[in-house]
Amino acid sequence: MLTPLAHRALERDGLGPIRDKVLAGERLSEAEAVTLFEARDLAALGSLANHVREARHGDFTFYNRNVHLNPTNVCVATCKFCSFARPDDRHASEGYTMSLDQAVHHVVSKRALGITEVHIVSGLHPDLPWEYYLETVRRIRQAWPELHIKGYTAVELHFFAEKFGKTLEQVLRELIDAGLTTIPGGGAEIFAARVRRKICDDKATAEQWLEVHRAAHRLGLKSNATMLYGHIETLAERVDHMARLRALQDETGGFQVFIPLAFHPEHNMIGKAFPKPTGYDGLRTFAVARLFLDNFDHVKAYWVSLGERMAQAALSFGVDDVDGTVLEERIYHMAGATTPQALSEGQLHRMIRFAGRVPVERDSLYHVLRVHDAPAAASAGGPG
């Protein structure tokens, strides 16, 4: 429900017609999304996004118990924003490649922790054989049959197809047969060719990224979608990015969640030129995403990238998911993220409850596993 104050603020900013379309359930145009990005009153924009969030999910806020596996950071690509990749694992001290045994042990050793999902992402290694990737999935599946295996970004899957002379369908089918159950949303960055030429010109193009997800959806795999914001892109390019995702979602319905990722400036090639995006920018990006992506069920604030406090605030700006416990994350921590290496389930509950929401543990396909609807303890606070 929009407050009279929010109605007045939206009218004052000239956003009355867009508000009316949102309240009538009508789709927003790209021009209207840019107008929302430029809105002066962040609180009023947030109220409108919150209205949509609560209409879809009420106070439910989703999370899962997950572990990350990054088997190697050796990568042949040279994305300017990347702090994770290294050119090799022989001379550079921070380059590494896990053996198959190490990769499988890294996951299977967490079994006693009640994990429900592994999230696998790597660099584009020049020498690892196809069997390495297949066996990683196969052996995890054999050792832990009920674990959800979310693995390999569209950029990696496109790389596999080219490197190993397979079609996308072959790559995906073989991984599905080995035990893969969904694919993550990374590698999307910003789709605009102008931006990709400048920040990631030697990996999958926007069209190739979208084609991988189209192929995955055709084979019945659900996937996620990300957007790296806060570097050289314009607001119109952010909207163009979301518009291309919305169009593919109209076609396939295979995306589960949209995840805006904040650019981190430490230890990469463009960090000196661009400061970390502000909290204001993050909140308006979540809000516009919630309003524009009318065919996406979920919008996620990835607390590792955003910080716990911002992720908590985002729950009033259209966000209904905070990712999960995220054991063993490397990619954002190598980019200077100062967030903890993991959050316990209790810490996630506290973050969510003190934002006035209800923590809901989900599985990787957004089935509800448990609603934690006990009231929060009566003390001031939030993420510590």
Which positions touch ligand SF4 (CB under 6 A)? 75, 77, 79, 82, 84-85, 123-124, 155, 200, 203
Q: Least distance from C-beta 90 to ligand SF4, angstroms?
A: 17
DSSP H helices in 114-205: 130-143, 154-163, 168-178, 193-199
Toward ligand SF4, which CB reaches closer, 53 or 125? Answer: 125
Toward ligand SF4, which CB reaches closer, 157 or 172? Answer: 157
Alpha-carbon dihedral sign for residues 303, 307, 312, 318: negative
Residue matched to tokens 């990749």: 85
Toward ligand SF4, which CB reaches closer, 162 or 373? Answer: 162
Q: Least distance from C-beta 320 to ligand SF4, angstroms?
A: 27
Q: In what order do the strands lie in the sheet with 358-362?
A: 321-324, 60-64, 358-362, 368-371
C-alpha gyration radius of the chain: 20
**Residues 87, 78: Cα–Cα separation, whole Å:** 9
Toward ligand SF4, which CB reaches closer, 215 or 334? Answer: 334
207 DSSP 8-state letter: H
Toward ligand SF4, which CB reaches closer, 133 or 144? Answer: 133
33 DSSP 8-state letter: H
Toward ligand SF4, which CB reaches closer, 123 or 271? Answer: 123
Cα 303 to its chain centre, rounded Å, is: 10
* Amino acid letter, 59: D
Q: Least distance from C-beta 279 to ligand SF4, angstroms?
A: 24
Q: Least distance from C-beta 121 to ligand SF4, angstroms?
A: 8
Q: Least distance from C-beta 79 to ligand SF4, angstroms?
A: 3
Q: Least distance from C-beta 123 to ligand SF4, angstroms?
A: 4
Q: Least distance from C-beta 231 to ligand SF4, angstroms?
A: 13
187 DSSP 8-state letter: T
CA atoms within 13 A on the CB side of 247: 11
DSSP string, 265-334: -TTSTTTTTSPPPPHHHHHHHHHHHHHH-TT-SEEB--HHHH-HHHHHHHTTTT--EEEE--BT--TTTT
Q: Least distance from C-beta 352 to ligand SF4, angstroms?
A: 30
* Helix (H) or strand (E) segment spanning residue 148: strand 148-151
* Amino acid letter, 376: A
